[in-house]
Structure 1
Amino acid sequence: MTDLTELPNIGPAIARALVAAGVADARALRAMGAHAAYRALLLAGERPHFIGYYVLHMALQGRPWNDCRGEEKARLRRDFDALLAEMRRTGPAAIEAALREIGLVAPQPQPASRS
């Protein structure tokens, strides 16, 4: 395991997800920052979750995850929502939809309806 788990709030599961997303260690996480690291997690296929977003911010500050409150939490929520909006516009799903629209990717079959 990398030294990511030495940061507060970062357990083995999130460390593995970060490594899989290209964040090799705590030094790399610090260099890119929590916002960019969370973007990398989303691009690697992780499902978005606000708590996970602010946990990374708290980890880089050496603070417990539940220390995020008030205006700081509200600001981070706005940043998280903006990141999700950006991912909807430019992320892998948006690119695949554009390719499907111009015929470069086959349409996905629709699930059979249950009657």
Structure 2
Amino acid sequence: MTDPVSSIRNLGPASDAAFARAGIHSADELRDMGADEAYRRFLAAGSRPHFIGYYAMVMGLQGRPWNDCTGKEKAELRARFGALKAEIGQTGVSERKMEAILDEIGILRQTGR
């Protein structure tokens, strides 16, 4: 049996469902892909960006408490977080969510019109 995402320090039971929507079903999967790729997928799956959630995950992957992040390290994480948000973009998230919903209910989106 694999350990759930919530077995990583700082991540609670809600993390299991949120990361599962992003295709990440275990702590090992999250560790293997790393914080930035995991958060990129988390955002692409439609989850709302939240800086504290991001850096708590980063700290947890390092085995550190969420509030251990300060100063220069926190500023660097804020820059990485901002880059991830910009890469995904709010419009892109909405479009991907809508496409997923349409696909799920069997409606194909027409393009080129």
TM-score by length of 1: 0.75
- Structure of greater relative contact order (alpha carbons < 8 Å, 6+ residues apart): 2
TM-score by length of 2: 0.76
Amino acid at match of 1:13: A
Indicate the RMSD between aligned Cα atoms, in angstroms. Answer: 2.7
Count of aligned positions? 100
**Cα gap change, 1:52 to 1:44, in 2 (>3 Å):** same
**Misfit runs of 4+, over 3 Å:** 89-96, 103-106
Query: Are the aligned partners of 1:9 and 1:55 in contact in 2 as well (CA < 8 Å)?
Result: yes
Counterpart Cα distance in 1 of 2:24 and 2:62: 17
Unaligned runs of 5+ in 2: 98-109
Q: 1:33, CA displacement in angstroms?
A: 0.5
* Greater Cα radius of gyration, structure 1 or 2: 1
Q: 1:94, CA displacement in angstroms?
A: 6.8
Counterpart Cα distance in 1 of 2:32 and 2:3: 16
Match runs of 1:95-110 below 5 Å: 104=111
Query: Are the aligned partners of 2:46 and 2:94 in contact in 1 as well (CA < 8 Å)?
Result: no
Q: 1:60, CA displacement in angstroms?
A: 0.4
Identity %: 50
Counterpart Cα distance in 2 of 1:37 and 1:56: 10
Q: 1:56, CA displacement in angstroms?
A: 1.1
